Every structure is written in structure tokens, then in C-alpha cells.
């Protein structure tokens, strides 16, 4: 009788564990720091990955751009850059890929999965044909809303007669979208500040530019910020209070910039959910310092990364030439701490994200063989850094061959493993077969 009861209990437990509704069971998280698999995609031309996310089905979406017309891009009709979106399963096998663009230069920069299971992708485009319905001159900000199979639901272009670029996008709390980049305000004649009144706030050259859309892609408002020189935003996050925090680089020392440190600075600013400037801060030294990535931390602050050539002011340590520089900033714009990583050669970061346990993940590239790095295969290698919540290195690794290889983005999987994406121009990259001038590369580290 006891045996029968035990069997019934085991059957009941197995039934509960097998129920698809039991999604709240904890997933075992481990990180060994060993490469699990590596794969490349591309054709005979130039192909790159700029952004990666883990999708709701456990696979990955990778966005970049390509000018190839053969290999994995067979069927592509033009030898100019198109946005290139790849959907991979959890083992890196290609489920589908699609290109978006026209007959001119179109470069995808950031992908997100939206709440409806589809995708939003942004970048900058010159085309006014093919998949693009409009272009105001040179590059425009171009956003596409896709279904879960990559089919276009809608697309919108925003820009003026100059070079206007978008680099990052978030789906907002109200179901709309906000993307950041820069505006060629000289070419726009001061236009681009809709909702702010006259164009008397016009500055010059390039500005941080943030654009808010509703869920159907209709423009709600847009604002630019900066000074008379070159200012570009490369990353954005939505704050807990609904505002937006933009990060990038500023060369200016006037208008909206009140505390410049040197030639170029990390520039971080926060705006309200209606685009009003709440605060702005410059971080860096007297050299060239540029930020490319921002992420929100578990405690409501922000980490910002890029590279620094400086050896003074906010930078407490420089290993030589250019270092990866990581800063943590409070929600009021105060510098909490800063860390520099690298060796005596050129090292730089392109993106940053925060793990579910509060650690920090950085993707970039390295030419160093000393300092915080231990190996270089030649020229630039992809470089991944994993730190604790205070910026102390827990793991770092380079990947590459004798050519020029770049890492652009990294994502943490639900099991604690990592996926790094970038590009390789090496024909001797260990474990990969070169397809063309440069290939899109995806690396999983378990």
C-alpha cells in the first residue's frame, strides 16, 4: 500500500513538473567561462553584427548590416548596405534572416523584442525606395516595426537634409518607442525640436537627438541637446520614473554643456517623459573620452561605458593609449565610481548590460597583450568583460585572428551564459571559416 501511495505521489509530482504552466520554477544558473559554440554568417562582402538580444523562445535575434549578395545573403539584390536581422535558435542555428533597405546605404544598429512578440529595429538609412518610403537627405533615422517572423508591420523615417543617425531604441512604458542618436542641426536649420517652440535654441554641427513615437510610429515629440561642436548620443534607457537617460560623447563647452572636462567627454543627460532637460553631466579627463553604451542597474542607477585616452580629472587609472572606461552614475547625475580596463595598446568598449544578479557585461575590442588582457591574436580582437556590481573583473576573454575583429554587443542568457556578437575580417579566426571581407560573428560562452 505504501508503495502504491509513493508511486501516486511521484506521478503527481511529475505531472506538476511537466505542466507547461510551471514557468516560475527557478533555472539553474552557472557560468564556467568556456566557449560553448561559435558561428559566422555572411557573404563575400562586408557583414557585421551590432546588436543581440535573447528572444522569448530562448533563441537570439541579431541585427547588423551587410553589403553582400551571396553566401548567407543569396537573393539580396544590391551590393550596398542593408539592415540585416537574423533569428537563431538556442544553439546558434539559423531559423531565418531578412534584409531591409533600398538602393543606398542603410545600417541597422539596435534590435529589441516588443511586448507583442515582434521586434523593433533602428539605425540610419539613405534609401527612399525598396523597404524605405521616405528620405529627407543623406542618412535619416529609420525605425521598423516587425512581427515575430520579421515581416514589416510599419516603417518610419525621421530626418532632415544632413546626416541624422539613430543608434539605440527602447519600447516605452506606454507602448510606444523612444530612440536616440544625433541630428545634423546645421543642415536642419534648427528644426528637430518639435514641441519646444521656436528654433532659437539652435546650436550647431551635431546634437544629441531623442525621438518619442506612439505604438504606431507616429511622432509625439523630439528634442535635441548639445553645444556648438559635435555631440552624439549612442545609447538610451528609460528611467524608473518614465524619463529617459541618454549617453554619448560631447565636444562642446557651451549651451547645454556646463561642466566640460576635455576634448571629448562622456556626456550623460536625463529628460522627462515629455523631453524636458532635467540634468546633464560631463565625465572624463583632458583627453578624448567617448561613451557608447548605457544600462540601468538594479538599484536604479546607470552604468556607462566607452573608451578614454585621458589620464586625469575623473580617470584614476590609465593603462596606456586607450582604455575601456566604465562609470556608474546616480539617477541625479552624480559619479558613484569609475573603472578603467585595458593594457598598453588600444582598448575600447561598445556596449554594456547588467546581469540578473547585478553584474556588468561589456563588449568591445582590444589590441593589448598585457594589463587586464592576456592574449591578442593580432590587430583588434573581440573582447568581453564580466564584472561584479562594483566593476571588479570576474572574467575576461579575447577572440580573434590576425586581422581586424570587433565586438559590439553582449547579452546574458537565462542560464547565466553569455552571447557576444561582432565582426571579423580575419581569415585565420580559430574555429571559423572566412566567408568574405568581414563576417558577422556570434560566440556563446557557457
Q: What is the CATH number of the domain that holds 191?
A: 2.120.10.30
* Region of 105 on the Ramachandran plot (φ > 0 left; ψ -120 to 50 alpha; else beta): beta
Cell representation of residue 118: 515582434
The whole-number pLDDT of residue 199 equals: 46
Closest CA to 282 of 301, 299, 304, 298: 304
Task: Please report the pLDDT score of residue 27 as a whole number.
Answer: 60
Task: Provide the pLDDT for residue 201.
Answer: 58
For 77: left if phi > 0, alpha if psi spans -120 to 50, otherwise beta; the answer is: alpha
Dihedral over Cα of 398, 266, 183, 144: its sign: positive
Partners of residue 108 on adjacent β-strands: 123
pLDDT for the residue 3: 34
pLDDT for 5 equals: 34
Eight-class DSSP state of 17:
H
19 assigned to some structural domain? no
Whole-number Å distance between alpha carbons of 372 and 194: 46
Question: Smallest Cα–Cα separation from 155: which of 119, 188, 191?
Answer: 119
Give domain status of residue 3, yes or no. no
Neighbours of 165 (CB within 10 A): 26
Residue 12: the pLDDT is 36
Identify the segments of the chain with pLDDT beneath 70.
1-28, 195-202
Q: State the Cα–Cα distance between residues 348 and 309, nearest whole angstrom.
A: 10
Query: What order do you get walking across the sheet with 82-88 strand by strand?
Result: 47-54, 60-66, 82-88, 94-100
H helical segments located in 96-214: 185-188
CA distance 179 to 158: 11
Residue 195 in grid coordinates: 514641441
Residue with cell 516605452: 172
Q: Is 22 a domain residue?
A: no
**In this structure, is residue 205 part of a structural domain?**
yes
In a domain, 342, yes or no: yes
Distance CA 390, CA 326 (A): 10
- Cα–Cα distance measured from residue 131 to residue 314, given in angstroms and rounded to the nearest whole number: 45
Rounded Cα gap, residues 233 and 181, in angstroms = 5
Helix (H, G, I), strand (E, B) or coil at 14: helix
- Region class of 374: left (phi > 0), else alpha (psi between -120 and 50), else beta: alpha
Angle at 193 between CA 187 and CA 199, to 5 degrees: 70
Which residues partner with 245 through β-bridges?
237, 270
- φ/ψ region of 384 (left if φ > 0, alpha if ψ in -120 to 50, else beta) reads beta
For residue 190, the model assigns a pLDDT of: 87
Which residues have a Cβ under 8 Å from the Cβ of 437 and sit 6 or more positions away? 44, 45, 46, 425
| Straight-line distance from the first to the last Cα atom of the chain, in angstroms, rounded to the nearest whole number | 46
pLDDT given at position 106: 98
User: Residue 27: inside a domain, yes or no?
Assistant: no
Cell of residue 62, nine digits: 541579431
Task: Supply angle C-alpha 358, 360, 366, rounded to 5.
Answer: 170
In a domain, residue 346? The reply is: yes
Mean pLDDT, the chain, rounded, equals: 92
Task: Specify the number of domains making up the chain.
Answer: 1
Using CA atoms, how far residue 404 sits from 66, 106, 324, 380, 425, in Å, is 17, 22, 18, 5, 5
Residue 243: give the domain boundaries: 35-445
Does some domain include residue 271?
Answer: yes
Amino acid at each position: 500500500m505504501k508503495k502504491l501511495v509513493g508511486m501516486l505521489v511521484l506521478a503527481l509530482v511529475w505531472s506538476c513538473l511537466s505542466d507547461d504552466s510551471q514557468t516560475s520554477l527557478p533555472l539553474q544558473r552557472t557560468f564556467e567561462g568556456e566557449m560553448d559554440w561559435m558561428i559566422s554568417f555572411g557573404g563575400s562582402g562586408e557583414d557585421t553584427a551590432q546588436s543581440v538580444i535573447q528572444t522569448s523562445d530562448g533563441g537570439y535575434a541579431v541585427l547588423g548590416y551587410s553589403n553582400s549578395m551571396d553566401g548567407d545573403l543569396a537573393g539580396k539584390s544590391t551590393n550596398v548596405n542593408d539592415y540585416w536581422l537574423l533569428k537563431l535558435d538556442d544553439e546558434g542555428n539559423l531559423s531565418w534572416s531578412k534584409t531591409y533597405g533600398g538602393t543606398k546605404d542603410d545600417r541597422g544598429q539596435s534590435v529589441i523584442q516588443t511586448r507583442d512578440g515582434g521586434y523593433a529595429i533602428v539605425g540610419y538609412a539613405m534609401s527612399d525606395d525598396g523597404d524605405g518610403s521616405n528620405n529627407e537627405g543623406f542618412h535619416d533615422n529609420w525605425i521598423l516595426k516587425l512581427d515575430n517572423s520579421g515581416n514589416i508591420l510599419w516603417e518610419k523615417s525621421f530626418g532632415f537634409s544632413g546626416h541624422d543617425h539613430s543608434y539605440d531604441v527602447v519600447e516605452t512604458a506606454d507602448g510606444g518607442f523612444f530612440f536616440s542618436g544625433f541630428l545634423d542641426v546645421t543642415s536642419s536649420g534648427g528644426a528637430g525640436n518639435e514641441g519646444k517652440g521656436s528654433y532659437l535654441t539652435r546650436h550647431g554641427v551635431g546634437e544629441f537627438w531623442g525621438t518619442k513615437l506612439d505604438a504606431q510610429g507616429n511622432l509625439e515629440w523630439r528634442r535635441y541637446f548639445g553645444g556648438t561642436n559635435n555631440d552624439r548620443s549612442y545609447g538610451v534607457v528609460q528611467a524608473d520614473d518614465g524619463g529617459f537617460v541618454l549617453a554619448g560623447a560631447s565636444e562642446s563647452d557651451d549651451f547645454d554643456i556646463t561642466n566640460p572636462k576635455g576634448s571629448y567627454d562622456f556626456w550623460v543627460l536625463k529628460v522627462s517623459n515629455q523631453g524636458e532637460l532635467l540634468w546633464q553631466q560631463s565625465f572624463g579627463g583632458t583627453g578624448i573620452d567617448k561613451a557608447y553604451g548605457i544600462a540601468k542597474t538594479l538599484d536604479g542607477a546607470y552604468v556607462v561605458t566607452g573608451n578614454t585616452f585621458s589620464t586625469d580629472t575623473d580617470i584614476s587609472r590609465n593603462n596606456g593609449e586607450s582604455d575601456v572606461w566604465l562609470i556608474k552614475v546616480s539617477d541625479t547625475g552624480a559619479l558613484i565610481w569609475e573603472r578603467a580596463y585595458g593594457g598598453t595598446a588600444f582598448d575600447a568598449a561598445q556596449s554594456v548590460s547588467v546581469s540578473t544578479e547585478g553584474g556588468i557585461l561589456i563588449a568591445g575590442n582590444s589590441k593589448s597583450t598585457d594589463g587586464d588582457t592576456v592574449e591578442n591574436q593580432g590587430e583588434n580582437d573581440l573582447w568581453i568583460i564580466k564584472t561584479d556590481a562594483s566593476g571588479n573583473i570576474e572574467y575576461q576573454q579575447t577572440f580573434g585572428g590576425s586581422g581586424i575583429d570587433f565586438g559590439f554587443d553582449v547579452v546574458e542568457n537565462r542560464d547565466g551564459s553569455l552571447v557576444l556578437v561582432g565582426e571579423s575580417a580575419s581569415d585565420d579566426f580559430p574555429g571559423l571559416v572566412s566567408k568574405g571581407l568581414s563576417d558577422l560573428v556570434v560566440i556563446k560562452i557557457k
